[in-house]
Amino acid sequence: MALISKIHIEPYEKQQYRIKSSKSVFKEQNFYSHILRSIDANKLTNVFKNDSIIEGLNIINISLINNNNTITFSLSPGRIIQDNTLINILETVTISIDIFNEYNILNTNIEQNYFEIDGDVTDKFSKNKQFGLYEASYLDLNHSNWVVKDIEFQNNKTKIYPVNPIMYDDTSGIIINDNFSNLSSVYGTILIMSKYRFHESVDVQDVEFVPVYVVTNNYFTTISESIPSISLEEYRIIYGIIYIQKINHKISNDYYFALNGTAININGKSLFVRNTVDKIENLDLGEILIC
């Protein structure tokens, strides 16, 4: 389990959230700002549940692309409160995750027993990593249990030395790397979370929407384990959970979603899928309804 190795977020850029000299949520910093970070605005958020979705930010437009190697989806615009900060997301956020990567074989060397592919991919093929080879003319080359013995990058090309002997001089096949391989399971879980932590001393603080990939035993396993890559001081809102199944070197067209309000346990803390605010009670002057 790990953070995804490749992520695309659009549109996404740094914003000037608060003018240093401004003490007001109006004038220079107005309600068109992406984040209202004045002390007065943050005090207002205390009447809501912290780390909550106020409105929107639903998963939309989910699809498979890149020959069913990549899953892509969007979060609709909306508002959240994270770390006592009210955050407006004004545009749709699009995220894609490469579950698999495909590589064309440039050269096959039988004597030295290596496949050569373009570019530096040494971070994808560590020693003892298992990978697959498909669509080769020699059918004996087509299987998913190739194992990396060694790897070398030179002259903008990567040589993969497998433990398995290469018996045929064939460059017609495609090498498939599962970025999150686990031989015991073909199932996986994608948690869509936001990474943010308020620091008053920082003038520009980004909010990142980050998918976290976890290997699970089936579609509906409740996640209850340690995820070392996640700090719950920064990742505290779960916008959705997508369960997927991998078939050979592609993602299945069938995927499932966790129900809103589903409780999961990460690093010893219970979190809820789409912790939304519907109604605020017990205020001195009545109730606030979120419509």
pLDDT of 98 higher than 80: yes
Domain boundaries, the chain: 2-99+184-289, 100-178
Q: What integer is the mean pLDDT of 263-274?
A: 85
Q: Is the pLDDT confidence value at 161 over 90?
A: yes
On whether the CB atoms of residues 244 and 258 are closer than 8 A, the answer is no
- Specify the pTM: 0.74
The token duo for 80 is 């959240």
Write out the CATH class of domain 100-178.
Answer: mainly beta
At 12 the pLDDT is 38
Q: Which residue has the higher pLDDT, 33 or 66?
A: 66
